[in-house]
Structure formats: structure tokens, C-alpha cells
Chain A
Amino acid sequence: MNQTSLDFSKNAARAQADADLQSALAKLQRDTRLARPVITGRLPEFEDLRDRAVAIKDHTLAHLDHYLETFEANVTDAGGHVHWCNDAGDARETILQICNNVNAKTVGKGKSMVSEEIALNDYLIANGLEVVETDLGEYILQLREETPSHVVMPAIHLKKEQIADTFRDHHTTLDPDRPLDAPSDMTEEARTKLREKFLSADVGITGANMLIAETGSIVVVTNEGNGDLTQTLPRVHIVIAAIEKVVPRVDDALSILRILARSATGQEITCYTTVATGPKRPDDLDGPEEFHLILLDNGRTKLLEGEFRDVLRCIRCGACQSACPVYGAVGGHAYGGVYGGPIGAVLTPALDGIDKAWPLPEASSFCGNCEAVCPMRIPLPGLMRRWRDIAHTQKLNKTGARRGLALWAWAAQHPALYRFGARISLRLLRTVGRRRGYLRRLPLAGGWTAARDLPTPEGGTFIDRWQKEMPGKTGS
């Protein structure tokens, strides 16, 4: 995709002017706020489950090499193939090679954020394959040539009227006057279209929500069942998963499943939870003849070594996005990378480089709601702050703001001068603003006064007045 994180402000302005997007985002925020207490309230052990999930992931990350090798051995035992891929290019070529080896013409694709990360569709299409997204949301986006704006609700930025228009524009063989008012009309229409594709696909590509080391299995959760058809009907099933998706045991996967859907969509569990191990065995009724697993690093090993390790606990539930008021104001696309919202503000600088993404960790009020809802207790504001440290050290941010802050920080370290400056500034502000109570414009404070008046100070600093009114009560 076209990485535009440096243009966050411009992207945000465009998003704020988009009335359809704004109404879709308002609905997401409202639904999320209402759902949260219900989800957590119905499960008294929710907080304990979070702790358990964190412990599972921390343990796995501390022994990642062991669990990945165990996973590989068990996939191989089951008759599958594991391909270790260092970066996006490796992964794309490996997948294309597998497709070419079986003379594939058509690929059915399940929803996968990591496939977005490596821009897989464009590459396969450029190499002559037909690729069809089979997740309803992703299918809509493919028709509209858009990218997902949310990790679990990829088309959440669209209203249903826009989707109906998209279907009318693209499904031109159907009656143009057919009713498409209800979501069920659209789902039915997409189902008919997609069934044709499932049956003709030579290769199915899916992501995986988890990889289970002790059995060599993959876990895929969906609400449509299309992911199941994508992995069982074609002759070849390719799974693409990043290395942090592995968990040690089936039991661990079940613990994480209990918080995944609750955090993602407010469901207790998704409609479909599919565990698959290797290709079709002789007695199996269905399943692929070949099973390939692409284990992608794409920068994870580097994260594992450093101060951003906690972000590898992420299970891509999207709770931080749904709960973030900045995401709620601008949507996922404004972040200009694969991942929007708080998780994007931490991951995108890691994936694309802080020099290409430094505005993202800045675009947070540090309200902390992301960390509060993150089932894996990832300290997202703290990690954004670490990126700010790095951006500051590399001098990536604007020089004007930088100079202002440097001057303030210098003054703050010289209390006597600070107090002198404060007295003068206050006197000026009082002279200009005291009659109205507010200042509507102030030089160098355009960021504030663009939308707000500046309250006029009461008069005098607290410290000066205290010294005068309470002499002697100033400590030793």
C-alpha cells in the first residue's frame, strides 16, 4: 500500500470532512462503549483471564525459538511444509512459487492482516493470478480498491448504503432494481458471487489467529465460515502467519480464545473457530492435498530483542482501535499504514521506520483507554512515548514546536527566571483579556485558539500570592 503516515494531519482533515465516515465512526464508538461493560460484567474472571493470556504470551516470547521449532516439527509430521520467511519479499516469492508449482490460476483468500503487511494481493495479481477476497468485508474493499481500516472490522468505515452502491456497480449481471436495503440482502448476494469463486479456486490462502506448537495446528476464527471454505475446498492451503502467533499448547489457545472475541467484537465466541492440522489425511472427508505454512518475521525478531517486545503480545483484536477517541475521530486510513489506531502508532514505526511514521505516536492524547481495554495489557501509551523519545533524539519532529519546548524546558530548570517570565506574561495576558475573560486570538498560540478561547488568568501566580498571604509556610 501507499504509506502516508507522514501526512497524518492531512489524512485526518480529509477524514473529518467525510460525513459518511464520521457517522460510521460515531456508531462504532457508541456500540463499543455500550458493549464493554456487558462483556466484562458477564465474565467475573475476565481480568484473571487477561493475566493468564499475558503470562502465556510472555512465556512463549521468552522461548520463541523453542516453540517455533516444535511447531515446525509437528507441522512436518502432519505432512505439511513450513517456510521461514525473513521479510515481505521472501514471503511473496515463496507464496507465488507454491502457486506456480501447482499451475494455479485462481486464489481464494481469507482475511489476513499479515497479507496486507506484505501487500500480497497486488503481487500475485501482477504475476497473473486471479485473487478473490472471501471475507465479506475484505471482498467489499477489494471491489472498492480500498484497504482495511480496522483489524477485525475491515470495512467499518463504510455505511451500508455505500456497500449497496458498490454491489450495484460491480455485480452488473444482476437486476439493477433488486432490493439491497437490508444487510441480509447484501450478504446473500455476496454469498452467491463468492460460492462460484470457492469452487474454482486452486489455492486457498488464509491467516491464522494462533499456531499451536504441541500439535502443529492453526486456529482461525471467523464469523462467516468463508474462511473454512477457503481452507478446505482448494487443493492447496497456504497459511501465512507472523512468528508471534505461536502458543505452546491447545489449552493456551483456548484461554486466549476466551478473551479474543470478547475484546474484538463483544461476542463470547466467534461463530466459527476452526483448528486445522496439516493436509487431508487418508480418512478425512475433506481438506487440502497440500498444506504450506509461511512463518513470517518481517521485523519481529528485532522487536523481540528491544524495548518494544510487549507489542508482540498483540492478538489483533482491534479493541484499542475501537476504544481510541483519536481513531474514533479520524478512522484507520488516516494513519497511512497497514494498522491504524494505537496499535498502528506503535507497530507502523517498527515496520516502516520511525522516519516514515513519527507523527503516529504523536497523535495520541495519552488518555490510556487503549491500554485499559487491551486484553494483552500492552502498555500502548508507554510504547508510543518510547517512539517519541526516539523521534526526538533523531530530531524528526517540527523545529518550531521543538524550539518552543526547549525554551520552556530551559526556563523550567531555572525557577527564578521562570517566575520572572511568568509574572510578565501574566500581566500581559491580564491586560489584554480580563474584561472579556477569554482571549480569542493570541500570537504563537494558534493551535489553541483555532478552536478554543484562552481563559484569562485569574491574576498573579499562586506562588507569589501564597508567599504574600501565607508567609513562612513554604517549606524549609
Chain B
Amino acid sequence: MTARPQVGLFATCLVDLYRPSVGFAAASLLEKAGCDVAVPTAQVCCGQPAYNAGDRKSAAAIARQTISLFEEFDYVVAPSGSCAGMLRHHYPDLLADDADFATRASAVADRTWELVSFLTDIRGWSGIDASWPKGVTYHDACSGLRELGIKVQPRQLLEKVAGLELRELDAPDVCCGFGGTFCVKYPEVSEAMVDDKIDDIVATGAATVLSGDLGCLMNIAGRLSRRGEAVEARHIAEILAGTATGPAIGGADDGQG
């Protein structure tokens, strides 16, 4: 039997701050798929907000920090196509002229994966043991879809969830209007985009909307709540891991914790 691969879990800043349960769900899935999981505690953020704001200097500093923390692992896995795409595609670009870090950036980039695609494409794993007897719909987050080619993988795994009925959106691959700081820089344009997404979600009749990126999900959940829609939003990892027992994103709880 081959040794269990050592996976560094890059939780992402939004999961760290807003939804730790997604981090635990990701770790649980990785362990079920035969990996040992470690979470370096000095991790912060992938640096994408700075990178997309044109602040390459800060983004490069954050990138060097992340690379130093994660280069010891066989794989780096993130429950986000956006952050995984940042490490995989943009770190090498950002550090191309850095004598010390250029090759280290490429080495980490080559070993970095988005959670769902890692489970299916790298681990060839589909041993889902979860049930969710509801209609769900799935939003293809842009970075995962177009930077990493993640389209069939989440659907393959959702198919294994007992009782789950996937109701596809009319336009699953159209942006939800989040776009990082885009949504606060151009809130009205972003609102029009998320409204189109929500009309599409509501029309499916699904009780839950899933996606692989917490940024998109917070945008969608926040707008669903403002519009008073009954649909709840969750990260796909919670469903696949069978840990979606607490409140949905933004759902009220009993105030503990």
C-alpha cells in the first residue's frame, strides 16, 4: 500500500472567517479519500484582492508567505476554485522575476488543486457516504470553471449523494456578479447580475443552491435573504461530507459559539 499523501489544506480567508464548517468538511473528505491533512496556522489569504486591485507588490509578498507555508506538502488543496486558481495560475506569473521564488511558485502551483477536482481527478475517489434528500441546484463558479476546467466533477460526486435531485440552472456558467471587490466597487451592476442568477435559481424549484466557492455563495445567499427567498445556500463540500447539519450560509442559529 502506498503512503498516504500529505495534503496541506488551504482553507481560504472566507472559510476561515465565515464558515469554518466548510474547512472541516473539506478535511473530512480528503481523509476519506486517503490523505493525511494538515492546516498550517499562519495561513491568511491567497492575495487575490491585492492582485486584482493592481497591487502586485502586496500580492507577491502574500504569495511568498503562502508558498513558504505550503511547499512541504505533496499537495495543496483549497475548497475554492478561485483561490486554487490563484495559486495554480497566478503565483507563477506574479513571481516570475523573483530569483528565489520563481521555481518554488511553479512547484507549488503544479501541486495545487481545487477540492472537488482533487478528489475526482487526482484521487479518483467517489466514495460518498452522505444523504441530502432534497432538490438542489448548482452554480458553476467562474474561476473553477474557466481557469481550472471544473464542470463535470461536482456533478459526478453529487450524483452519489443519496436522495439528492440535481435541478440544473438554465445558465449555470454565467457569473453571479461577485467578482471579489467588483461587487462593492460596482454594487448596482453586481446586483443586476446576482438578480439574474437568483431568478434562475428560484425557477428550478430547488430548496438549496450549491457551489464550490464561498465568495459566490455569500453573494448569492446575501441577495436571496434580501429578496426574502426561501432557498438556502451551502458549499458543496458540506453536502458531500454529510456534515450539513448546522444552519445554511447566513442561517440563524441558537446563538451558541
Residues of A near any B CB (own CB < 8 A): 9, 12-13, 16, 33, 325-326, 329-330, 362-369, 371-372, 385, 388-393, 397, 401, 405-406, 408-410, 412-413, 415-416, 418, 422, 425-426, 430, 434-438, 440, 445, 447-448, 450-463, 465-467, 470, 473-476
* Chain B residues whose C-beta falls within 8 Å of the C-beta of A437 in the assembled complex: 225, 247, 250-253
B19 interfacial contact with A, CB 8 Å: yes
Given contacts A448-B222, A458-B18, A475-B39, contact A364 B182 (CB under 8 A): yes
* Chain B residues whose C-beta falls within 8 Å of the C-beta of A425 in the assembled complex: 17
A456 to B253, CA, bound (A): 10
Please list 16 pairs of residues, one from A and one from B, whose beta carbons are closer than 8 Å in the complex, sorted by A's number: A12-B188, A365-B180, A365-B190, A401-B181, A405-B55, A405-B181, A409-B58, A409-B61, A412-B50, A412-B62, A454-B222, A459-B257, A463-B43, A470-B27, A474-B40, A474-B41
4 shortest interchain CB distances as A-B pairs? A365-B179, A447-B184, A392-B54, A455-B250
Given contacts A388-B52, A401-B181, A451-B187, contact A460 B257 (CB under 8 A): yes
Q: Nearest-CB distance from A286 to chain B (Å)?
A: 48
Tell me whether A462 and B15 are in contact (CB under 8 A): yes
Which one of B102-110, B127-135, B170-178, B203-211 is at the interface?
A: B170-178
* Chain A residues whose C-beta falls within 8 Å of the C-beta of B20 in the assembled complex: 458-462, 465-466
Given contacts A365-B179, A437-B253, A466-B23, contact A33 B190 (CB under 8 A): no
B230 interfacial contact with A, CB 8 Å: no
Tell me whether B185 and A405 are in contact (CB under 8 A): no
Tell me whether B62 and A474 are in contact (CB under 8 A): no
B146 interfacial contact with A, CB 8 Å: yes
Binary flags per residue of B143-166, CB closer than 8 Å to A gives 1, else 0: 101110000000000000000000
Tell me whether A455 and B187 are in contact (CB under 8 A): no
Tell me whether B182 and A365 are in contact (CB under 8 A): yes
Q: Closest B-chain residue to A431, C-beta based?
A: B255
Given contacts A365-B142, A462-B23, contact A392 B55 (CB under 8 A): yes
New A-B contacts (12) at CB < 8 Å, excluding given A363-B185, A405-B55, A451-B223: A16-B188, A372-B146, A388-B52, A406-B58, A412-B47, A415-B44, A435-B252, A437-B252, A438-B225, A452-B222, A453-B225, A465-B24
Q: Closest A-chain residue to B184, C-beta based?
A: A447
Partner of B219, one of A13, A440, A452: A452
Residues of B near any A CB (own CB < 8 A): 8, 11, 15-24, 27, 37-45, 47, 49-56, 58-59, 61-62, 65, 69, 72-73, 142-143, 145-147, 171, 173-175, 177-194, 196, 218-219, 221-223, 225-226, 246-247, 249-253, 255-257
* Chain B residues whose C-beta falls within 8 Å of the C-beta of A397 in the assembled complex: 53-54
Tell me whether B69 and A475 are in contact (CB under 8 A): yes
A19 to B152, CA, bound (A): 37
Partner of B190, one of A391, A426, A451, A454: A451
Tell me whether B38 and A475 are in contact (CB under 8 A): yes
A367 to B250, CA, bound (A): 24
Q: Closest B-chain residue to A17, C-beta based?
A: B188
Tell me whether A438 and B250 are in contact (CB under 8 A): yes
* Chain A residues whose C-beta falls within 8 Å of the C-beta of B173 in the assembled complex: 369
Q: Closest B-chain residue to A436, C-beta based?
A: B252
A367 to B183, CA, bound (A): 12
Tell me whether B250 and A473 are in contact (CB under 8 A): no
Tell me whether B222 and A365 are in contact (CB under 8 A): no
* Chain B residues whose C-beta falls within 8 Å of the C-beta of A434 in the assembled complex: 252-253, 255
Tell me whether B55 and A326 are in contact (CB under 8 A): no
* Chain A residues whose C-beta falls within 8 Å of the C-beta of B19 in the assembled complex: 457-458, 462
A438 to B142, CA, bound (A): 25
Tell me whether A474 and B146 are in contact (CB under 8 A): no
Tell me whether A366 and B52 are in contact (CB under 8 A): yes
Tell me whether B189 and A329 are in contact (CB under 8 A): yes
Partner of A463, one of B41, B188, B196, B223: B41
A369 to B177, CA, bound (A): 13
* Chain B residues whose C-beta falls within 8 Å of the C-beta of A466 in the assembled complex: 20, 23-24, 27, 39, 41
Partner of B179, one of A366, A413, A455: A366
* Chain A residues whose C-beta falls within 8 Å of the C-beta of B186 in the assembled complex: 9, 12, 326, 362-363
Tell me whether A455 and B18 are in contact (CB under 8 A): yes
Q: Closest B-chain residue to A452, C-beta based?
A: B222
Tell me whether A367 and B11 are in contact (CB under 8 A): no
A371 to B89, CA, bound (A): 15
A450 to B24, CA, bound (A): 32
Tell me whether B194 and A452 are in contact (CB under 8 A): yes
Partner of A329, one of B52, B192, B249: B192
Q: Nearest-CB distance from B141 to chain A (Å)?
A: 9
